[in-house]
Chains A and B, each alone.
Chain A
Amino acid sequence: MREARSKEWYVTGKSVRGSIHRGNDLPNQDCIAWVQKETDSGEVAVLSLADGHGSEKYFLSHIGAQFAVQVANDLLYQFAQANAGLSLTDIKVGTERLPFQIVRQWRRKVEDDWNSPERSKETERWLDNPEIARTVESSPLIAYGTTLLSVLIAERFIFYMQIGDGDILAIDAHGALTEPVPLDERNVANEATSLSSPTAMRDFRVEFRRRGSSVPALIMLATDGYANSFLTRAGFHKVGSDIWQMIRTDGKAGWQTIEKQLEGWLQRTTELGSGDDISVGLLCRMSALQEEGPEKLPAATQGVGDSQVPLQEDAISQQGIPGTALGEEELDESTEKRSAGTGKS
């Protein structure tokens, strides 16, 4: 796991194997990673997480989840770099191509992997199952099926994108919570839209937000195993509120406690809740601590300490992506919502 810290945004995350997966000798099919760097055009942070589908026919979904996170982080970071000088309107137009680019690159990686000699040997035992053999014969992509949730934070905008289930929460400095990406009603009863689907490009849900006065203090991304562990949706939302309250109460020490305790919290949550793999990414804007708000409340979470955890800055290499057609007008609204293609919103 790569830890990173820079001037404004603090980033961390963890992934734990679900207790059902442990009991059934299944791997952790989630993946999480992030990149963060101070660039010429300001700070850029990208975090992605993915949840590989669990059914047998998705027997390489843990690999598919890793590919999804790698591809999304690389493309989103490169996008921020390549388009930093454009107007917000043009940047927003450019984001419309990201689902297409991510799906295309993910498919390419999957096809390379599927055709590699190492993978062929490994998959032989799965293909003894006629149902699985039929499925991958129609499309090997299916074996790698996964969800994907990403956030890109740049100097002038925040871009969220998601395919499949899972949650993105945004908490402002006063503790008010929103879910920036609209729900997709197809994600019910253990089924989710998927990167492996032929309609994947249209199934992405995205939101582009110009950074104005309402920049979140805390952004939390989570695979569905987290929300499914709580008796109520409000109980899940309280995670975001509790974590922000810890930071408000203890500042950087609170953040360090969260980094230390997060894995244990998630482990306990899967044991007492859904039993599914859980991955959580947190991005905290420390400058929000200086903003006016209600009086600080007692920390909702116990065990706050002040031990120092050394962190490392990390980054990916910079490669440009061709920009999109340029327009002259500037966005005049702080929030621009859209759903790529026909994805429900």
Chain B
Amino acid sequence: MIPGGELAARPLHFFWLADCSGSMAGEKIQSLNHAIRDAIEAMRKVADNNVHAKVFVRAIKFSRGATWHVAQPTPLENFQWKDLTAGGVTDMGQALIMLAEQLKVPLMEQRGLPPVVVLVSDGHPSDDVKKGLAAVMAEPWGKKAVRIAIGIGKDADDNMLEKFIANPEIPVLHAHNSAELTHYIKWASTMALQASSSPSMRSDATQLAAPFASTQLNIPAPLPSADGQSQDVW
């Protein structure tokens, strides 16, 4: 026996924010489903290497409005991906407001590790995304989150995705085909997880710089195809 209550690893909340608008229909949404399902196993391997972090996963989908695809913080070891379907507009602002609600204290515990948010989108928001971004950044846990954005195809709104990341060291990742999407989703879900749970994340709260640096995240290069060129499909 040792003094005190129950000991436990620190919680790390991981959020997928997935664009399910009509333009995602077909190969894009199928690729996204495949990529996330594929990434879960890799995430588990990362989590297994850090027994001091307990990862909980949730997902928000947005098209006409936004809804929780996985509402309960689900332990990574139990997490199963249910396929998304596409249709409607791109109400990303609503999704960000829903995220911000979950980043409030006391829903976020003081002892928690920085949350990880991965935003995937192929188009321009159709609602008030500035309001959503402001809501996320108004929360201390939103500001400190590891925020990653993946733009699918050439119509993704890079300007808005950059504002979501709010860190000039971290670029928007561009997926132009299924292989790149799988590559980036896997990187985002594992490297960001690793960075958030690393002791090397500790830093000075009064510095204006983002809490994580590009060197900690090891930003991936675009995935070359067999002929050495990236295939532009989307």
A230 lies within 8 A of B203 (CB): no
Does residue A48 face the partner (Cβ distance < 8 Å to B)? no
> A274 is contacted by which of B4, B10, B201 (Cβ under 8 Å)?
B10
CB atoms of A203 and B202 under 8 A apart: no
Name the contact of A58 in the complex, choosing from B3, B202, B211 (C-beta under 8 A). B202
Chain B residues, CB < 8 A from A235: 4-7
Contact-residue size bin, chain B (C-beta under 8 Å from the other chain) = 35 or more
B6:A232 contact, CB within 8 angstroms? yes
Q: Shortest distance in angstroms between A261's beta carbon and chain B's nearest beta carbon?
A: 8
In contact, A238 and B206 (Cβ under 8 angstroms) = no
Interface SS of A by simple majority: loop
**Contact-size category for A:** 35 or more
Instruction: Tell me whether B4 and A191 are in contact (CB under 8 A).
Output: no
Interface: B204 (CB within 8 A): yes
For B10, list chain A residues within 8 Å (CB). Answer: 228, 273-274
Q: In this assembly, does A334 line the interface, its C-beta being within 8 Å of a C-beta of chain B? A: no
Which residue of B5, B113, B207 is within 8 Å of A238 (Cβ)?
B5
Chain B residue nearest to A200 (CB atoms) is B206
Within 8 A of B (CB), among A180-197: 185-194, 196-197
Residues of A within 8 Å of B108, CB to CB, are 188
Known contacts A230-B5, A235-B4, A269-B2: A54-B206 contact under CB 8 Å: no
- With A272-B7, A273-B52 as contacts: A227 and B202 at CB distance below 8 Å: no
User: Given contacts A20-B199, A273-B9, A274-B10, are A187 and B2 in contact (CB under 8 A)?
Assistant: no
> Could you tell me the distance in whole angstroms from the C-beta of B5 to the nearest C-beta in chain A?
2
Among B1-40, those with CB < 8 Å from A are 1-10
User: A192 contacts which of B1, B2, B205, B215 (Cβ < 8 Å)?
Assistant: B205
Additional pairs, 15, CB under 8 Å, beyond known A53-B204, A193-B206, A300-B3: A131-B215, A189-B211, A190-B113, A190-B201, A191-B203, A228-B111, A229-B8, A230-B7, A231-B8, A238-B5, A268-B2, A272-B7, A276-B199, A302-B1, A303-B1
Write the residues of chain A forming the contact surface with B, with a CB cutoff of 8 angstroms.
Answer: 18-21, 24, 26, 53-58, 129, 131, 142, 145, 185-194, 196-199, 203, 227-236, 238-239, 242-243, 246, 264-265, 268-269, 272-276, 300-303
